[in-house]
Structure 1
Amino acid sequence: MDLSGARWRKSGRSTGGDCVEVAVVPGDPALARHKADADQLYLVRDSKDPDGPALAFTRSEWVAFVGGVKDGEFD
């Protein structure tokens, strides 16, 4: 997947170098065959390694992840 056009953002609360960045991009048609709601993907990467790997989440996966963060599941 070509991520050169992705618009990466990080939290305004981010103050140091240990951050993640998030981008929302159009889904990958190949992935859409295997996952529901893959028409849009939420990407996460390490801000210290912008050329490194990115994790991809569908909208429902992203909503579940953010909900878990807000509920303290990862503390």
Structure 2
Amino acid sequence: MELLNNGQPFKSSKSGSAGHCVTVQHLPSGGVAVGHSQDPDGPKNRYTHDEWTAFVDGAKAGEFDLPA
């Protein structure tokens, strides 16, 4: 499997320059690790491919939108 960004953590191109950003790292297992840009060696939350896909699909469907 080819890893996005060569398996290195990355942040959204929409992120600001303040450095308070969520990073995502694609793992060889097909899952992802989510961390903080200001603490690259700090703890990461790890998700399986299925968990990450469910989260992304839910975000796209508006499941996490705040009430108007």
Q: Normalising by structure 2, report the TM-score.
A: 0.71
Task: Supply the distance in 2 between the matched residues of 1:52 and 1:6 (Cα, whole angstroms).
Answer: 17
Task: Supply the distance in 2 between the matched residues of 1:59 and 1:8 (Cα, whole angstroms).
Answer: 16
Task: Supply the distance in 2 between the matched residues of 1:21 and 1:59 (Cα, whole angstroms).
Answer: 16
1:67, distance to aligned residue in structure 2 (A) = 1.3
- Structure with greater strand percent: 1
Q: Normalising by structure 1, report the TM-score.
A: 0.65
Structure 1 residue ranges (4+ consecutive) displaced by more than 6 angstroms after TM superposition: none
Deviations 1:15-72 (A, max 9, x none): 1322111111123xxxxxxxxxxxx221110112111111111111111111122223
Query: Which structure 2 residue ranges, 5 or more long, are not aligned?
Result: 1-5
Of 28, 45, 62, which residue of structure 2 is paired with 1:55? 45
| Percentage identity across paired residues of the two chains | 46
Query: Which structure 1 residue ranges, 5 or more long, are not aligned?
Result: 28-39
1:6, distance to aligned residue in structure 2 (A) = 4.2
